[in-house]
Amino acid sequence: MSINWSRESLAWLAGLLEGEGSFVVNDTRPQITVDMTDEDVIRRCHEIAGVGHVYGPYARQRSTTGPRKDLWSWRVSQQLHTYALMVALYPWMGQRRQEKMREIMVTWLSRTRKTDACPPGFFR
């Protein structure tokens, strides 16, 4: 896990995830994902977070307008890393994303009985 999280880098990552990312539960595991054609942006996500894995490039099928750019992905699926990153990003996310993150974290914490790991007032 990165120990060099700055406010600026977390705010940048939150902004990107707000528009391009997803927060999901995959096979009962919380996961953060972002997919795009910009390899440098995907690698920056990984560098800032210090967790997860970069995957790609994946060739995409041709469209009616011609070839498409390769797709790159960054995924965080190790449970504690996902939880820690969601907590760190939470203040910068919009209301809809915050609600989704809270739903995922509360579900995960209740399954793992780690509810003492939540910040005070988190279950409001």
pLDDT for the residue numbered 64:
73
pLDDT for the residue numbered 122:
55
* Token representation of residue 95: 């209301």
Is the distance from CB of 83 to CB of 29 less than 8 angstroms?
A: no
Could you tell me the pLDDT band of residue 4, with boundaries at 50, 70 and 90? low
Is the distance from CB of 92 to CB of 10 less than 8 angstroms?
A: yes
Greatest Cα-to-Cα distance within the chain, rounded to the nearest angstrom: 53
- Residue 117, pLDDT above cutoff 70: no
Could you tell me the pLDDT band of residue 115, with boundaries at 50, 70 and 90? low
**pTM higher than 0.75 for the full model?**
yes
Name the average pLDDT for the chain.
88
Sorted by where each begins, the domain ranges of the chain are 7-112
- Residue 118, pLDDT above cutoff 70: no
pLDDT exceeding 90 applies to what percent of the chain?
66
Q: Is the dihedral of CA 37, 9, 100, 82 positive or negative?
A: positive
Position with higher pLDDT, 28 vs 35: 35
CATH code, 7-112: 3.10.28.10
Q: Report the 3 state secondary structure along the chain.
A: CCCCCCHHHHHHHHHHHHHHEEEEEECCEEEEEEEECCHHHHHHHHHHHCCCEEEEEECCCCECCECCCCEEEEEECCHHHHHHHHHHHHHHCCHHHHHHHHHHHHHHHHHHCCHHHCCCCCCC
- Residue 40, pLDDT above cutoff 70: yes
